[in-house]
Structure 1
Amino acid sequence: MASTRHPETNPQNGRVWLSGGNGAQLEPLVSEFKSLSPFPVWTESLAWNANLSSGDNFYAARVNEGMNLLTQEIQSIVSECSVVPHIFLAGHSGGADIVTHTLYNLAGTSTALAIKGAVVYGDPSTNSKQTYNAKGVTSSTGVFHRTDAQTTTINNSYTYFGWSYDNPTIATPKHYPRVRAYCNKDDWACRNPIAGLWDASAHNAYTSKAEDAYNWMYYLITDTR
């Protein structure tokens, strides 16, 4: 699982921290995954500074830097494993933007086959045409929304064939997303424009999603094809 935020310890390869760095919004999800999963779990956080206060151009460069770090780390993990690993990604805010940019960057490659699933909270690159919103989350446009073409690539590239996690009574299997996006109704980042922008507390109110996010990830390991 990859996530982003200070504080952190135990740097590794210049790309990740092996302790800490998950951030307050993702820490409950990481903890649930480590404590509840019946499978061995190894977690790490991306060595990326989440301070994004210097304007749009700076933000884009910082997200691109994070995407390159995460891409390199995924490629490194895949190359060192004798079998295809099950990699889950998770990100909040700028970290969510990095995750979805990385998904687009790796779409169609053999490396992408190792990405079992991805969860994002308050993604500023949210596009109204994405098909992977969590149940109950309506479509919206983020403050730094990605293009329709990029969104279509993510929609089509990360799916599983099986049964619905959100609607298990659907009898016929079909393709469902391996990405799951949460966007609170007053979150300025994934629902632009929102009055009060930087003061909106909804952008930092995703800890309650941890249980659903974990259950969905576990479902992808155990109940899908």
Structure 2
Amino acid sequence: MSGFVSFIGAGPGDPDLITVKALRRLREAEVIVHDRLVPEALLDEVAAGAEIIDVGKAPRRHCIGQSEINWLLVDRARRRRNVARLKGGDPAIFGRLAEEIAAVRAAGVPFEIIPGVTAATAAAALAGISLTERGAASMVVLATGTDHSGQLPATLDWDLLARADATLVFYMAVQGLPTITAALTALGRDPREPALLVERAMTPQQRIVPASLGDIANAARDARIESPAVLITGPTVG
């Protein structure tokens, strides 16, 4: 008889931002498979005797590969009743959720997805801005600034992003920030447009760096902003 996997969004860093349902599932779990950026305080909520497996990916550290994570989920679900896959932010946004769902589905393991607060909304809340605004920004674009190889994603439509009347949010933006901003402004986005870089939103280490889109890369360098951080730019920022 197979167990059950709960894919849980832990939120952006403040343990108080996890949902009631997510916390309940975490406390019920016999196995917790968690990423690097989940709040440590949430791991204190797990049941005594529960197996806790850290599969977090980090620079300059040996990491468990995605295929092994997929295997772990299926293996533990076959041996235990309740497995919690705890991911930072929202599991469905740049969290490789699709690959893990495919693995458990192929193995016949039932699952659920419990959403969490994602970095885009957490960063906007911290900065005191709205991501949408009637008459100014009727669209929000969530994009990644880094692909699986550490480079800018080649599949992004930069011309569309540059010309869209939208709030743009780039996750994992620090490494490629100069290239991101140069591409947007070269294709027509106003370099004077207000922008923010938000580092570790909703954690004790949170920082906000405001600047124009054309200057935000230099401002981030001067402030020594580090990952994880998101770039927000658009008409609602100013």
What TM bracket, shorter-length normalisation? 0.3 to 0.5
Considering fraction of residues, name the structure with more helix. 1
TM-score (structure 2 length as normaliser): 0.33
TM-score (structure 1 length as normaliser): 0.35
